[in-house]
Each structure stands twice: as structure tokens, then as C-alpha cells.
Structure 1
Amino acid sequence: MPPKSQADILLDKAEKKLGKSDGWFSFASSTTKFEEAGDLFQQAANAYKIDREFSKAGEAFAKEAECRENAKESNDAANAFWNAAKAFKQAKAGDLAVQALQQTVVHLTKGGRFRQAADREKEIAQIYLQDGLLGKACESYVRAGDWYSQEDANATANACFKDAADLHAQLEEYGPAISRYEQVAEHSLSSALTKYSVKEYWLRAGLCALANSDTVTAKRNMSKYASLDVSFPTTREAKFINALIEAVEAGDQESFTAACVDFDKVMKLDNWKTSILLKIKKNIDEEPSLT
């Protein structure tokens, strides 16, 4: 039987410390026990990290977090759960990382630390995204965005809401996607630093309306955007959407493709736009002929 590693020895010490009986009505010594066991679990977790045994490190950090909770050390518990999440991410255990981050968020929100809670919720969204859980990722981005907004971190909030809008569109939830893009655009209009990006959000909102086979909403929204920013109709983005609306209403695939090619020559179409344009084109293809 191979000798125990330093990490295993520390873990055993922590478990023994935790299992030690303190007798009746010994709250003070019980608190000390949890503090000391927590320290040992932390040491064990760091030793496992050195040995690159990240799954075991995550488990040890999670046990440390539980000790911190029992010792009423909420801030330390939040930090331990976060360390557990980072270890689980290294171990490619996304579900365990999410569970640990969710516990971190509970402690942070209870302590009124909403900016840090938003950071952790954003991490949760990114893990869900990597695992292909787009709906859950969308919910976490919105939650993070709301908390960033409360803390006046508006640029970061907008980035989260924009990511949520992109995911709504990927899930073909075009109404919520349009609402989110318009929300981000409205926030961006209020600042000279971010006003330039508004046309991109409105472009995406317009594409969502067309993907929903709704040229009426697309045209109505284009008029609304023009009233909010009089320079918008002259932009390449607005002209592109208007050309697409005409092509869709005419059922003209050639004009649709030509508009996409022309736009792509000047402003390269990203993967998101390419994907949604293919959906719009497919809708044109599937429209029944009137003749």
C-alpha cells in the first residue's frame, strides 16, 4: 500500500478534528473545532492542488466551506466555496463548480456584496454555456446583469444583457431577444462613450424580428429607432435591415443574398449574424408561392 500523500494526511487530520466530541453545551469549543477543521481542510485542498488532484481539492474546499458556515464565518465560507468552484472547473466538473458557485452567491447576497455575487453568477453562466445549457446560461446572465445594474456597473450589466439577448435568439425566443437588445441600446444611448454601439443592438433586434417572420414589427421598430436617434436611418446597419425587409416581403432570395454579400464586404458578418440570416433565408424559401 503506497504511503499517504501530505494532502491525504491533512485531510485525515481535518476529519478527525471534525469528528471530535466537545461534550455538552460547549458552543465556544465547538466553534473553535470548526475553525481548526476548516483550516486543515484548506491546507489539504491546497496540497491537493499542488498534486494536481483538482477534484479532491474541490471536495476539501467544499468541506472547509461547511466548517466556515458552522463557525458563522460567512465571508470565509463564500471564499471557500469559490475556491472549490475553481478547483472543480480545473477538474472539468462543471456541475460541481456550478453548485459551489451557487453557494458562494448565497453568502455574497446575504452579505450585501452584490457586485461580487454578479461576478460569480456570470461565471455560472459561462459554465452553462460551455456545457450547452443555453437556457440556464441566459437566466444567469440576466441575474448577473440585474445585480451589476444595482451596483452602477452599467457597462458590465449591458454586456451580460447582450449575451442573454444573443442566447434568446439562438433559442429562437425572438421576442425576449428584441426586448433585451432594446434595453441595452436604451442604456447605451445615454452615454457618449457607448452611443456608437447602439446601431449594432438595433441591427440584431431587426434580424430577430425578421427571423420571426414579422416584417410588420421589423418596420415599426425601425421607425421607433429612428425617432430615438435621427442619425440611425443613414447607417449601414439600418440600410441593411431595410434591404432585408424588402427582400423578405418580396420573397426575393437573390436580393436577400445580395444585401448580405454587400454588407459582409464592408462589415464582416460574425457567426451569430450568419446563423440568424440563414434562418431568415430559410423562411423565405419556405414561404408558399402566391402564384
Structure 2
Amino acid sequence: MTKFVLLSLPNKYCNSQQSSRKIPILFILMHFHRAGKAFNPGEYWDLHGRALVREGERRLKANKKDDAIAALCDASELLKRSTSETSVRDAVNALNRATKILTEQGRFRQAADRQNEVGDIFRVSNRPAARDAYEKAGHLYQMDGAQAMGNAILRGAAEISGLVGDYERAIDTFVQVANWNLSSPLAKYSVKEIWLKAGLCALGADDVVLARELVDKFAQQDDTFPSTREARFLNNVVTAYGDGDVKAFTAHVVEYDQVKKLDDWKTEILLKIKKPIGDKGGLT
């Protein structure tokens, strides 16, 4: 029996109105499983993956939830290797369905892992979708009690929000993460970096007033912040931005970069912030 016949046979049974009465569910599941395994690695990723998706659907219908999760996750691994947009979308759908089942079972860590995979799939091709998936993963990790891991994922989601111009959402998430980190002796060191990124997002939103308010707020939360390199840099670029002084803005960026190398995120955001300064001639 060829692999294509194996795949078509259980589909025919599933589509038959009589299948639920005449064809044992285990018989159908067996054929879906055999169909999926018939496709060798590297050969027909799409067909192999979709066979496993159908297996997952039937196992879920048979209330075999753990087996359904396994089939859906295996299917996603195959489908996401395809160059077809449809297959990648099917991989995401399979992971989302697995996430839903895992969440309903209270298995939040495993559900978060699946959403993390969704974020990784979209990270290059669809930043907003990646951000949404990472946010969901972060909250699921927190629900599982993994606060530090959840915050790390949410911080990444906030960075994506900033890159796509959703500055308000980025600021809210950065502040949320920083507030928790401030209460953690192990994570407190990262707060100044997070606050810097929140302040830069305020400038990205062309809101100098908010940027200054954030600087003041952060200083009240931690009286050591104003003396940090990050706070001094933020104050300097906020002032230069407000004055519409491109030369001063650039000089502060170059100076900071010489002492502490700018990462890709800051570089991209600072370029976006710098672009309109010269056109406005004073941004108070």
C-alpha cells in the first residue's frame, strides 16, 4: 500500500457520514499514524504533517488528549520546515490547538513552550504576530510560577512592540517587567537597562513630556538610577530631542556607544528617533 493510499484511506473514512457508526475510531487513528510515518524525513513535509494533524484531530475527538497534543506538536515540527506559507500557518494552528489543550489541563509551562515556538516561527516574517505569541508565552510562564522566565519573554515582546512602533504597549510592558525585577535581588541589575528602553520608546512616540515623566518616576523608584550611565544617556538624548539638536543627539549616542556598545535594538530605535529631529527644529 503506497503512502498516498495510506493518507487517503483514513480521510475517506473521516469524511464518510457512516464512519462514526461503522468504522472503529482506533482503526482510523492507526491509518493516520501509518500515513504520517510513511513519509520519510525530508520528503513531503506538508503531507506528513497534515496526516499527523488529522491524527491529532481524531485523537482529540476520542478524548485522547495527551496523544492529540503529541500528534499536533509532531505535525508542527514538520509543517514549519516547509517553504509554503500555508504549511507554516498550519504549523502555527497546530501549536495553538496544543496550547489550548495544555492550558485547559493546567499544564502552563508546556503551553508556554508551544507559544514560544509560535513566536520563533513569526519572529522574522511577522513581528506583531511574534510579539503576541511571546506575550502569551510570558503570561503562561508566570501562571506556572516561573516569574523570571516569564519576565524575560515579556521583555523580548516589549522590544518587538518598540520596533514595530507600538510604543505605548512597549512602555507598559517594560515598566511591568522592571517593577517585578526591582523587587528581585537577582534581577534588579537589569532594571536600568529596561528603564532606558522605556524612555527611548517615549521619544519614539514623539512624547518628550512622557519621557521626562518616566525619568522622574524611575528616579523615585530607585534613587541610584540618576547616577547610572543609562540614566545620564537617557537624560541627554531627551534634552537634545526636545531642543531639536541633531548634533548633540548624535554626539551623545556616539559617546555612549564608545563606552557601552549599542545593541541592535537600541541602534534601530535611535535611528528612528533621530530621523525627525532636524525637520522639527525644536521639540519642546
Tell me the TM-score normalized by structure 2.
0.89
Q: 3-state DSSP class of the match of 2:203? A: helix
Counterpart-to-counterpart distance in 2, 1:283 and 1:21:
64
1:190 positional shift: 1.7
Q: Does 1:113 align with 2:107?
A: yes
Q: Does 1:145 align with 2:171?
A: no
Partner residue of 1:232? 225
Partner residue of 2:173? 180
Counterpart-to-counterpart distance in 2, 1:131 and 1:168:
15
Partner residue of 2:163? 170
Counterpart-to-counterpart distance in 2, 1:165 and 1:235:
22
Partner residue of 1:131? 125
Give the counterpart of 1:61 among 41, 52, 55: 52
1:164 positional shift: 1.7
Partner residue of 2:269? 276
Counterpart-to-counterpart distance in 1, 2:19 and 2:266:
66
Counterpart-to-counterpart distance in 1, 2:19 and 2:134:
47
What 5-or-longer segments of structure 2 have no aligned partner?
A: none
Partner residue of 1:75? 66
Partner residue of 1:251? 244
1:165 positional shift: 1.0
Q: Does 1:213 align with 2:206?
A: yes
Q: 3-state DSSP class of the match of 2:276? A: helix
Kept in 2, the 8 Å contact 1:57–1:87? The answer is yes
Counterpart-to-counterpart distance in 1, 2:138 and 2:266:
23
1:159 positional shift: 2.0
1:14 positional shift: 4.3
1:61 positional shift: 0.3
Q: CA RMSD in A?
A: 2.4
What 5-or-longer segments of structure 1 have no aligned partner?
A: none
Q: 3-state DSSP class of the match of 2:80? A: helix
Kept in 1, the 8 Å contact 2:109–2:144? The answer is yes
CA 1:12–1:219: 2 relative to 1, 3 Å: closer
Kept in 2, the 8 Å contact 1:209–1:215? The answer is yes
1:169 positional shift: 1.1
Give the counterpart of 1:36 among 21, 27, 34: 27
Aligned ranges for residues 185-204 of structure 1 at < 5 Å?
185-204=178-197
1:283 positional shift: 2.3
Q: Which amino acid aligns with 1:105?
A: T
Q: Percent identity?
A: 38
Kept in 1, the 8 Å contact 2:195–2:218? The answer is yes
